[in-house]
Chain A
């Protein structure tokens, strides 16, 4: 148990579907992150939230829409995805200068 919980663990969706990934942290951290891990690429940072405010968006397509309603929860809303968006999506949290704690990830397959 890492203190960062992601649901669902696996998701298969069609290109016309709308789905959401959920991340919850019980560590009292003030920053949360979404990362994408594709099979043939290094881990890519997608979004950063500090104190519920988005502070970074690394040129992520608008078909990915993050939401951070409070400092413990982070969502990634997905719509009209492409097959190349299939990847492992990792959520992480950290407190200022401390190390990041990662969830187990959601394995997403777009068909």
Chain B
């Protein structure tokens, strides 16, 4: 079956860049997503990328996709304490359905 993997923890200093990595196994993935979960809150969609793209930039966020290696990354520039959260990578092989999520990466931003 499909599988999505992420490292579980990441710590960075405030002002540095954060890079959260994700690997997936399903070669038919059409959409790849990054969701953010703050303490006590639900999941918030940060950004997504179509599988025929290799990069997408949105303000401080940059998503890189290496489809050959099935590797997705999320770079957060100038990381702030408000960026501390759990970041979930997800893939969706069927038109907006059957999302498969990774275990989440807990990002801690140190002052």
Contacts and interface: CB of A to CB of B under 8 A. Distances in A.
Interface stretch (A65-73, A78-86, A88-96): A88-96
Contacts of A98: 96
Helix, strand, loop or mixed for chain B's interface? strand
B96 A90 contact: no
Contact of A102 (B43, B48, B95, B102): B43
Nearest to A50: B97
A99 B103 contact: no
Contacts of B104: 42-43
A56 interface: yes
B54 to A, nearest CB: 19
Given A45-B100, A90-B43, A99-B45, 18 more contacts: A2-B42, A2-B44, A31-B97, A41-B103, A42-B4, A42-B102, A43-B90, A43-B101, A48-B98, A56-B97, A90-B42, A92-B43, A92-B99, A102-B35, A102-B45, A103-B42, A105-B41, A105-B42
Interface of A: 2, 4, 6, 31, 33, 41-43, 45, 48, 50, 55-56, 90, 92, 94-105
